[in-house]
Amino acid sequence: MKVFKINFFLLFFLSFVLSGAFFEVGRCSDNTLANGLLIAQIKGDNYGLVELNKNTPHKLHFVLKAYKNDVIVYEDWNSWGFFARTFTAVDKNNQKIKYEIFRNCNVWTHNFPSTVKIKSGQDFVTDIDFFDGTWSFVPRPSSEKDRVLILQGYFDLEESNGRRVNDIDFKIWGRSWFGHLVTNKIEIKIPKGSLKYFYKPNPW
């Protein structure tokens, strides 16, 4: 009888462990499309605090890394990829204040779903310039003092957002990866006065 109880306990324990392992694998499947997986991160030119201002805007980088297989994503010049990268931020000194950072609406003189292939093991780096007039910061913080923000990024390409492309487009440009990714968090400093350059009203 004791042997039966021990074996039953071992069987239950192994079932629990294995089910957890399969859950972890399944959880990754949200970010897959048959041909591969992606991870995303944001980083600065150097370790530690990243200081951004209008004169040196390109210190922040959004990195997509393919692993296991090549991955195709939409380029960010067209409307399919333009809105894919967004951010949230909290003020380091008052983390109850949360900001949403996203691309403004845009007017395209030409527009088609071109893609880029990220080869397995390689990075695809997009420089983020918060001072180029294409970003909105909601709510808009005061620029009366230096601000240190804790920034986190997101990468979203969703097939269900009304931008589904047809089979002909996929054959020409390649089938894009679809999914949702969350990056690491980093600290950025925006000097006093710089935030007045951060916002531009929608052209519509």
Q: Per-residue confidence at 64, pLDDT binned at 50, 70, 90?
A: very high
Residue 170 sits at φ, ψ, to 5 deg, of -65, -40
List the one residue out of 204, 191, 179, 184 whose CA is nearest residue 61. 184
- The predicted model scores a pTM of 0.75
Least confident segment among 10-24, 135-149, 163-177: 10-24
> Is the confidence at residue 81, as pLDDT, over 60?
yes
| HSE of 59, CA atoms in CB hemisphere, 13 A | 19
Separation between Cα atoms, residue 22 and residue 170, nearest integer Å: 32
The pLDDT of residue 196 is: 63
Q: Per-residue confidence at 133, pLDDT binned at 50, 70, 90?
A: confident
List strand residue ranges (DSSP E) for 119-190, in order: 123-128, 135-138, 147-157, 179-190
Separation between Cα atoms, residue 156 and residue 58, nearest integer Å: 22
Of 24 and 104, the structure prediction assigns the larger pLDDT to: 104
List the one residue out of 137, 134, 132 whose CA is nearest residue 100. 137
The pLDDT of residue 143 is: 67
Asked if 123 contacts 42 with a C-beta cutoff of 8 angstroms, the reply is no
- The structural domains of the chain, with segments of one domain joined by +, span 1-32, 34-197
Show the tokens assigned to 147: 């601000």
**Amino acid letter for position 99:** Y
Give me the sheet containing 147-157, strands edge to edge.
50-51, 179-190, 147-157, 85-91, 94-103, 135-138
The pLDDT of residue 35 is: 44
The pLDDT of residue 55 is: 73
Of 152 and 36, the structure prediction assigns the larger pLDDT to: 152
Separation between Cα atoms, residue 164 and residue 37, nearest integer Å: 20
